[in-house]
Structure 1
């Protein structure tokens, strides 16, 4: 199964109304990052154990681990969680940047170092989220 099919199946597996919201968010991220590489992470480790929620990934950057090893991974991730939706913006070294820059204008969302979590799309300003996604993708490429 290719990445497009995995993403389609993942979105279809979500309960309503989360299914429609993740589909709309997926389209919005593709508009913000039109030429990005698509990923799908099942949330399982190398032993097949579930360690995270399945995530749709966008873009590409290299994670550098403390032991010197590296791994190619997505920059932006979208995932359904038990209470709503999470958007991950990876690769920004300043863990306060997203909260300070977008926290007050995003709407009803929790913003941590790399995660924006909200219950439903109507709780947030989608234009601000799209700006945060584009900004985060650009910053992670520079750092």
Structure 2
């Protein structure tokens, strides 16, 4: 299966309401960054052991490590979890930025340095989530240095 097929299978494999919300978020993210690089990570490590929830990635940025190495990774991620949905805004150097900028308007969500987690779309302000995702695509590599 190619990446688009893996993404479609992952989304359609979710239970009813979560499937519909993932489809809505997938459309929203693709609208914000049309033609972006798509990723699908199945949650398995190099030995095939499940170590994380599968996730969909959108866009691409370069992670630069302190030791001078770097690698490509997605800018925005989407994943179902046991209690809801997680949206990842990757590579933000200021780990308080998402909570400070979007937290008060977002609604019922938990926000970490790079993850916005919520039970259902009904619990959050979708325009605020969209603004956070847009920030994830617009923030340049200079914001991501040292991530």
CA 1:41–1:140 in structure 2 vs 1: closer, same or farther (change >3 Å)? farther
**Unmatched segments (≥5 aa) in structure 2:** none
Q: Counterparts of 2:15 and 2:66 in 1: how far apart (Å)? A: 38
What is the aligned partner in structure 2 of residue 43 from structure 1?
A: 43
Q: Counterparts of 2:142 and 2:69 in 1: how far apart (Å)? A: 19
Number of residues paired by the alignment? 143
Matched, 1:55 2:58: no
What is the aligned partner in structure 1 of residue 86 from structure 2?
A: 86
**1:142 deviation in Å?**
3.5
Structure 1 segments (4+ residues) deviating >3 Å: none
**1:50 deviation in Å?**
1.1
Q: Counterparts of 1:84 and 1:62 in 2: how far apart (Å)? A: 28
Post-superposition CA distance 1:91-139 (Å, at most 9, x none): 1100000000000001111111000000001111111111101112222
SS of residue matched to 1:39:
strand
Counterpart contact for 1:91–1:140, Cα < 8 Å: no
SS of residue matched to 1:88:
strand
Q: Give the TM-score, by structure 2 length.
A: 0.92
Q: Give the TM-score, by structure 1 length.
A: 0.95
**1:51 deviation in Å?**
1.2
**Unmatched segments (≥5 aa) in structure 1:** none
